[in-house]
Each structure stands twice: as structure tokens, then as C-alpha cells.
Amino acid sequence: MAEKRRVLSGMRPTGKLHLGNYLGALDNWVRLQDEYRCFFFIADWHALTTGYAESREIPENLMEMAADWLGAGLDPERATLFIQSKVPEHAELHVLFSMLTPIAWLERVPTFKEMVEQLGIESPSYGLLGYPVLQAADILVYKANYVPVGVDQVPHIELTREIARRFNHVYGPVFPEPEAKLTEIPKVPGTDGRKMSKSYNNAIYLSDSAEVITAKVKPMMTDPARKRRSDPGNPEVCPVFDLHKIFTPSDDREWCATGCRSAGIGCLDCKDVLLKHLIPALSKIRERREQYIQRPGELQDILEDGSAKARRVAGETMAQVREAMGLR
């Protein structure tokens, strides 16, 4: 039987994941594990590119995030789940790729400038400029065919392809050219109507209990033009309705939309319907993640085993790289 095509993706260990992280990436990863040979990694070195002084927070954040991964349905039997820094081959390939990557290629990556501006970084580090090269090493050390990404990450995959091409041209064919697998990301608003984000303090977390979710949804922002119960509303501009589109089956959703437009229901009635569907969907994830938080040894073993498996694959690639470059 032909080997499955390979998929690789990673996440920085930011701690507990929220609904936006789940719907923007994790939910898609869970589906990919049936069709592809998947490598999913915790990008702890990448976290240092913008937060090198916060390195001590990484171990705890990493465990919380891994518990969310498993809670959401990633399965260590079907996907290789590992920690980047446990596979030093990423660093070795990064160094080698650094030698053949012109600085101009990195300076034109749009996310570099955006990140520097958005985060107000006065003096960007060498690591931040070079992080797409580390990303190329992350991908190519597993010879991944596909990388699930949002549209903003496409230039990074293009850079990875350019690095693979240059390497193959100079030293002979070792790497496939991976393709971006565009992930359709639904609009996931936070409780204040802005994009859901940890830094806006508007997020619903996968670890939130039914009570916490209820307390967050009840005061959630709605159609701003619907000030009184008697005012008809417009679901299409309402952040609560964006969540209905994701979690509420069509008959209940239609009931809410009609009641909103005719002022037949109030926003609290509408939010109750959302909670009826949102809470059960998240409680399954929360209960599963909780089991891993209660048994950190098991979680550690899963990550150790996954990292050992990843290391074997990365080791095979590095043997070919050294051979191709004559670095025996």
C-alpha cells in the first residue's frame, strides 16, 4: 500500500486554546488525521522569536495546549504529536538552510514587517527575521507534502518551496516542494464582537465550564441597533448569530433569525438557544482534556513517544541531507 501523503502543522504554546483556535486550526487537524500521515508539533522555539524572556511559561502552556489537542480529538495512534525542541534535527536543518537563504527573501516576507509594527518591536532579533527559515526546516525535515495554513501564511510556504528548490538544485533532489492546504476559517467573534483573541480578553476557552460559558455568552454583544426587546434586529450583523452559524442546527437557527427580524424573541432567548448547542459541543472536549490534566504523566508520555517517533523520521532526512552535502 502506498504511503499516505504527509501533512505537517504546528502551534506556538500559548496555553489554553479558545474557540477561535479550535475552529481556525484544530478542528481541521482532527479531520486530516484520517486521510494523511500527520505530524503536529508544539512550536516552543517559535514562541521565543517574540517572547524570549517568557521562556519559563512554556512548559505549563505547552501541557495545557496538548491537553486541548487531545480533548479536541487528536489521536496519538493516528498522528505524531511532538515538541519541536525535542527534535534537534529542526535546528540542524535550520542552520544549513540559513546558509543558502538570502536575507532579501526574508525581508520581503509580509508577516515580518506586520509583526514588528503590531508588536512595536524596536529592534527585531535575528531569530525573528529568520523564523520562516526555521519553519521551512520544520516542514522539510518531515518531507511534508501539505501544510494547512490560513491565507496569511501562504508567503511562508512559498519561501519554503524556494528553499527546497535551491537546496535540490545545489545538492541534488532531497526535498519535495510542499503545498499550502488552505484552511477555511469561519468567522469566530469574541464576546465583545471583535475577533476572538486571548489578548482582547473576549475568548471562550475549550476548558471553560458550562457555567463560565453561560456567564460569557449572556452579556455578549449583539446587533448594536437592537437596543430594546421591541426593536427588530439583523442577525447578519450580530456576533451571536456568527456563533449560531457554527453550532446551531438549521431549524433552531432559522427560528432565531425569524424571531430576531420580527422582534418576536429577545436576545436572551436567542442566546439560550445558542447555549443549548454550544455547551454540549464543548463539554465533550472539556471532559476529555480534564482527564489528561489530571494525569500529566500520561500526557508527558504521549509527547515523549511522539517526539521519539518524529525524531526517527527527521533523522532519516538529515542523513540524506548530510550525504547530499558531503558532510559525512
Burial 136-152 (b: 16+ CB within 10 A, else e): bbbbbbbbbbbbbbeee
Q: How far is the CB of 190 from ligand SF4 (least distance, A)?
A: 15
Alpha carbon distance, N-terminus to C-terminus of the chain: 33
Nearest residue (CB) to ligand SF4, 256 versus 303? 256
**Residue 15 or 189: which CB sits closer to ligand SF4?**
189
State which residue, 153 or 222, has the beta carbon closest to ligand SF4.
Answer: 222
How many H helices and E strands in the chain? 15, 5
Q: How far is the CB of 188 from ligand SF4 (least distance, A)?
A: 16
The span from the CA of 196 to the CA of 178, in Å, is 30
Give min distance, CB of 260 to ligand SF4, in A.
3
Answer yes or no whether residue 22 interacts with ligand SF4 by CB under 6 A.
Answer: no
DSSP structure string for 105-132 = HHHT-HHHHHHHHHTT-SS--HHHHTHH
Report residue 274 as a C-alpha cell.
445558542
* CA separation, residue 267 to residues 22, 236, 320 (Å): 26, 14, 61
Please give the residues from 231 up to 270 whose contact with ligand SF4 meets the rule CB under 6 A.
233, 235, 238, 240-241, 256, 260, 265, 267, 270
Query: By CB under 6 A, is residue 226 in contact with ligand SF4?
Result: yes
Smallest distance, ligand SF4 to C-beta of residue 2, A = 48
Is 270 or 318 the residue whose CB approaches ligand SF4 more closely?
270
Q: Which of 72, 223, 285, 306 binds ligand SF4 (CB under 6 A)?
A: 223
Q: What is the DSSP letter of 181?
A: E
Q: At residue 299, what is the residue type? A: L
- How many residues touch ligand SF4 under the rule CB under 6 A: the total is 14
Output the nine-digit C-alpha cell for 64: 495545557
Task: Please answer whether residues 195 and 21 qualify as being in contact, where contact means their C-beta atoms are separated by less than 8 angstroms.
Answer: no
Question: Per CB under 6 A, which of residues 171..190 are in contact with ligand SF4?
Answer: none
Residues forming contacts to ligand SF4 in the complex (CB under 6 A) are 222-223, 226, 233, 235, 238, 240-241, 256, 260, 265, 267, 270-271
